[in-house]
A = this chain, B = another copy of it.
């Protein structure tokens, strides 16, 4: 969002400020103040004006300016009401040299998950892709997938939903004894072995979505369906981005929190890796994101693959 608009919002958040006073504080003309206020109203912000000046009365439930306003993470938000795929747009931005951008949409018309699987993304969800350029080798990138899962699970728990994480990239909630998917995460990257050029972490959250709008074979549900009321998408998105941003400074804390939320640890799992099938008890997660499986004969470390939670044999 326009930096000056953020400063206008900050100025009028707590008390009325007159037009001339705003113009003076921001070092812009009174006409420019008026234009910014109008643009903010256009974006859905409620801004009262009376003799005392302008006062912020309402922040929109969602949108680029709304999520940018008060966001405590160093990302620029690029918002779309509808877009084919936020990951595809973020990859294009990466090719243009951009970084620290979040592509955010209310609806995706061509969303996809891992391995080109279709990912339904109706209006009311939170569909976002974070583009950044960490100074790490390619092999370190799985930690960003874990960080995204932790960020969404924590935000869901703050919203009263007992979300759990299934390795490597699903955030689930237990509904009537069945695990149902709330979130999908797709991490893409480019670079050389020693150094990543860019990473795009796509996070698709079934937020305020009617589960009837999701395909039944996806075993999916939504935050609003589980809670019985909508979540505040603006605040939810901000919390996800703020937690995600901490992975750069403290990956160990992300791993610890991942263990806390993990539905996979302690479970019997079957993992289809490109080379083999691994069956056993998932016993730990290792940096940067490998699952440690006790097959009974040995400890196997798995870095990628499809994971099924098996029911214990009684």
Please list the residues of chain A having a beta carbon within 8 angstroms of any beta carbon in chain B.
95, 114-115, 136-142, 145, 168, 186-195, 197, 274, 303-305
Contact = CB atoms under 8 A, between A and B. Distances in A.
A304 B137 CA distance: 7
A192 B274 CA distance: 14
B194 A115 contact: yes
A303 B305 CA distance: 20
B195 A142 contact: no
A276 B83 CA distance: 43
B304 A139 contact: yes
Contact of A189 (B140, B145, B191, B274): B191
Contacts of A305: 194
Contact of A193 (B136, B168, B193): B168
Contacts of A145: 193
By secondary structure, the A interface counts as mixed
28 contacts: A95-B95, A114-B194, A114-B195, A115-B192, A115-B195, A136-B274, A137-B304, A138-B138, A138-B141, A138-B189, A138-B304, A139-B139, A139-B303, A142-B193, A187-B192, A187-B193, A188-B190, A188-B191, A188-B192, A188-B197, A189-B190, A189-B191, A189-B192, A190-B190, A193-B303, A193-B304, A194-B274, A194-B304
A133 to B, nearest CB: 13
Identical chains bound together, number: 2
Contacts of A137: 274, 303-304
Given A114-B195, A138-B304, A168-B193, 15 more contacts: A95-B95, A114-B192, A114-B194, A115-B192, A115-B194, A137-B303, A137-B304, A138-B138, A138-B189, A139-B303, A187-B193, A189-B192, A193-B304, A194-B274, A194-B304
A136 B115 CA distance: 11
A24 to B, nearest CB: 46
A191 B116 CA distance: 11
A187 B189 CA distance: 14
Contacts of A192: 114-115, 186-189
A136 B139 CA distance: 15
A295 to B, nearest CB: 19
A-B interface, 5 closest residue pairs, ranked by CB to CB distance from nearest:
A190-B190, A137-B304, A188-B192, A194-B304, A193-B304
A280 B305 CA distance: 33
A293 to B, nearest CB: 16
Contacts of A136: 274
Contacts of A141: 138, 193
Contacts of A191: 188-189
Contacts of A115: 192, 194-195
Nearest to A197: B188
